[in-house]
Structure 1
Amino acid sequence: MSIPRFGDSPPASKALKCLRFVANLTLSRDAESIQLATLKYALVVAEEGSFLRASRRAGIDHSALSRRIRDLEYAMGTRIFHRHARGVGPTPAGERFLDRLRSVLLELDNTLTLARTGIKDEQQRLSIGSNGMVLAGRALDAVIEFGQCHPNVTVSLIEGSHPEPRAALGGTEVDVTVTSSSRSTGGAFELKLWKDTLAVVLASSHPLASRPVIEWSELGQETLLVRRGEAFLLADAVGNGVQLPAIVEHHVSAGILLRLVGNGLGVALIHDGDAKSVPDGAVCRKLRIGGKPVQISSFARWRPDNANPALTVFIAFLRDRYSA
């Protein structure tokens, strides 16, 4: 009996039988302790025909994989694999078990996908909050990419000093925050994302503008212009004990802030990936503290009791493509 590789679609008529199979499997006290990963490893072993090749493919120690399969066989009360000099192969009982298991896992995957995406034709809404500085660089790229991948989700971007994820649909706050703040919101789930390197923007006529790299200490006598809500992020970026220059907060867009810089009213920080957005009259230079780049971490935070299906899709998207 040939066994199709994991991921092949089972006939639709098998779906109910597959779910019953899972139910029957979990009735056994021993089977209740079987982890989903172990079941997936069994399929990999069948496909590779070798514990060694399967362990390399699955990224698990060879002996640990062998032990997991042995425990699975004990819980099932039957041999799933023949062991021989050339590797392993499924027993007749193992073939039946693995064939049904493959269908079960595919049905489970399909069910989870439906839960994440909801009804494809239904236009969904997702509000994403930011503390200002972070809604640029890779954060903005991620939002744009998400919108292109999920045209059925309408995304609203909201900037604020301390945007908070709302509790559920119909709340007054945002669904998820993408923030540079290390201050976690009580009760919120958190996903650590990427690190962005910061650069400094100065007027083209500034005495330091000719330097390709500027040390933080050289900004001590400067006026640092920030947007609303960004000042408290600086300590996270530069670290405790580092002297901050004079800070002036403006309730304006990033574009206006950089125009102020270009006219000699101060300096500003941006993600180095946004250097092309610097207007005429200003230049972007690398920033260092003790010779090391200045980096700021980004996080996604959301409340677990938010029932918005678009939020689930967005978090899965971030975890798959951007999670640290």
Structure 2
Amino acid sequence: MTIMVTMLACVHRVEKDRFGRDSYPGGMNQVESRPLRYFVAVAEELNFTRAAERLGIASPALSRAVSALEADLGVRLFERSTRRVALTEVGVELLVEARTALGALDAATERARRSARVRGGKLVLAVKADVEGGLLEEVLSRYDAEQPSVPLEVVFTGWREQPALVRSGEADVTIVVEPFDTEGLDSEPLLSEPQLLALPADHPLAGRHGIHLTDLEAEHHPAAPGSHVYVPRGGGLPPFGDLTQMLRQIELGRMLALLPASVAERNTRSQLEWRPVVDAPPATFAVAWPERSSSLSVAAFVRIALAVAADRTRITNDRSRTAHP
């Protein structure tokens, strides 16, 4: 589309100094992306003063920069009046494209930096604390033994944040529960385990056995399509940033959640009950990394994670056969 082609030309435009040479004050990434970053700030704030404060520049300079961008593109991006600022139809379209372009630019830059650090540096694993299938300790132990030249750093994340960190280059690899956003990632399943329903100790379902999803959905609905989190009908999803906060919201009766059995084993709480749900799908853990990655350290981590998971599955199956001859 014409606007996208012109926009990309703006992204790659550089400033000239007074001698006519290409000038990159502040670094190439900031200068090349500056017009779009200014536009996005105004589009998100819909207020030039707030956007200028956010960007750390003067409001008149921001206004001139946005006007210059509109002139370059040959379109109006904002409807301005003394009382309000609003995006035009073209501005709404450009905001989507600009966020994509800036995200790709930032991710490419960070991946390059991460790649340089991994060579002789360190490998960064993004993982949600307690949500790794009980694999983390053994994986770390084997990795440290086999790859001592590239230390492994563990970064604990918020809920469902891991794939984005790998895509952005802030992490090199992750262990995550399926389903997750696989865009730009390669992945391999590690192991599956039952899910248990976390609910308040005084909830009507807490004393029942043989719970089905229909029982759960009688008075609750998924927070989003396919979500493992359920909220009371007519209610919204309460805020939480990590597993501890999530479990506290469950204890308060604000929500219920289907979580992997390994999470239940590590989180016994007096005000919380864990109950099996007969027809709940299993939780599958996977290891994920950037597609087309050429990192030997990432390849070693994936191989070790798969081996540890295979050993864990074999032990679990042996125990099951022994318990039920």
More RCO (CA 8 Å, sep 6+): 1
Per residue, is there more helix in 1 or in 2? Answer: 2
Bin for the TM-score computed over the shorter chain: 0.3 to 0.5
